[in-house]
Amino acid sequence: MYKQIEELLENAFDEMVDIRRFLHQHPELSFEETETPKYIADYHQKLGHTVRTNVGGRGVVAELDSGKEGPVIALRADFDALPMQDAKDVPYKSTVPGVTHACGHDAHTALLLVLAKVLNEHQAELNGKVVFIHQFAEEVIPGGAISMIEDDCLEGVDEVYGTHLWATTPTGKVEYNENALMAASDRFTIELQGTGGHGAQPHKTRDSILAATRIVDALHHLVSRQVDPLDSAVLSIGSFEAENAFNVIADKAVLKGTVRTFSEETQTHLIDEIERTAESIATAYGTQAEVRYVKGYPALINDAAKAENIRAAAASISAIDEVIHASPQMGGEDFAYYLQHRPGAFFFTGAQHPDWETTYPHHHPKFDIDERSMLNAAKVLGKTVVDSMAR
């Protein structure tokens, strides 16, 4: 049966491209998606699937029921875009000023819709159910996954799978990991309140900028000196703001940064140390520090058996040149929430076009993909569904 599914996917590739390009031209920001979920729901309804809309807010969940006993397998794709100007010179360039699909979520949606259509044509040969989870707002914390889960998108689901097209990995390659694949992604803000004054009279001030610079230096030593070298972690300061007059000592400075971890123990330790470090240094310089720490998505930890399902499926597909054991990535992904509730796996599908001289990474204004990667991802997910139902 799978060979027939693979052939149908090949025949439907042009439709996959058309859907992706239509969505690319009409992107919608996280938590502002209205037309995209309507488009998705209409597509599934025409296939005769049971469809729920407004799941967790703006999500869409469709169900393909074979009518026979078997596992319930969920496949997830996200559909939100980013607040960036599309700088590509292509016919399918975004028509919405300041908004573009610079991360591939349009392609995720397109491949899942066409896979749903193809699986639907083999409904009588399947065992169990396939649940298609179309998620809004992956790009912005708290993300759409957690609210969709709270609205029962995983009800009755036995296992869940998802993929991310990866523009910096060559098309034809699939990357998987049987354990930790992506990190927890947190952010923090530190506000330093001092006493400002004239730049010529620093002795009459409590210099917030000086205190902030000492804090930046100290924070960048936390990972190298307080985290086990075998336990990956990242702490980065991305913003340092204060008054910008050349002859003014600012009374206030604001630092913003991110922390990436895989271990909850390490995450908790760094939260405590960031607060302790900021407050103690601020006190030493006669200033006050207020630390606000916001936990983002948790670490994405695959189920080993389900990751093996992905590896085996990918290895059996002729279009996949190589299946690679991926190193953990420090980027975040709210698919992690699904894996906290059901066994499953997330993997990367190579999407780097072999003929392009320059490959632009995710979240770049000129980001694009080799659209054949959508077909590869659909084949892996389709094979995983068929094999899981046959077990």
Last residue of a domain, one of 297, 320, 348: 297
Query: With 80 as the cut, is the pLDDT of residue 1 above it?
Result: no
Residues 202, 139 share a domain: no
For 13-52, the pLDDT digits (tens) are: 999 999 999 999 999 999 999 999 999 999 999 999 999 9
Contact of 302 with 345, CB cutoff 8 Å: yes
Residues 166, 116 share a domain: yes
What is the rounded distance in angstroms from the CA atom of residue 224 to the CA atom of residue 50?
52
Last residue of a domain, one of 279, 297, 315: 297
What is the rounded distance in angstroms from the CA atom of residue 24 to the CA atom of residue 105?
9
- Beta-bridged to residue 242, according to DSSP, are 253
Q: Quote the number of domains for the chain.
A: 2
CA distance readout (Å), 342 to 77, 124, 158, 213, 304:
16, 26, 7, 44, 12
What is the rounded distance in angstroms from the CA atom of residue 233 to the CA atom of residue 191?
23
- Decide: helix, strand or coil at residue 19: helix
Q: How confident is the model at residue 343 (pLDDT cuts 50, 70, 90)?
A: very high
Residues 108, 11 share a domain: yes
Residues 163, 218 share a domain: no
What is the rounded distance in angstroms from the CA atom of residue 149 to the CA atom of residue 154?
6
Question: Domain range for residue 359?
Answer: 2-182+299-390
Annotated binding residues: 103, 105, 139, 164, 363
Helix, strand, coil in percent for the chain, rounding step 5: 35, 30, 35
What is the rounded distance in angstroms from the CA atom of residue 281 to the CA atom of residue 376?
53
Residues 227, 97 share a domain: no
Residues 349, 223 share a domain: no
Active-site residues: which are they? Answer: 80, 138
Contact of 375 with 20, CB cutoff 8 Å: no
For 188-198, the pLDDT digits (tens) are: 999 999 999 99
Query: With 90 as the cut, is the pLDDT of residue 243 above it?
Result: no
Contact of 310 with 161, CB cutoff 8 Å: yes
This prediction has a pTM of 0.93
Annotated binding residues for Mn(2+): 103, 105, 139, 164, 363
For 81-131, the pLDDT digits (tens) are: 999 999 999 999 999 999 999 999 999 999 999 999 999 999 999 999 999
pLDDT of residue 391: 73
Last residue of a domain, one of 253, 282, 297: 297
129-135, strands of its sheet edge to edge: 50-55, 59-65, 129-135, 72-78, 159-170, 344-352, 173-176, 322-325
Residues 346, 288 share a domain: no
Single-letter amino acid, residue 352: Q
- Decide: helix, strand or coil at residue 337: helix
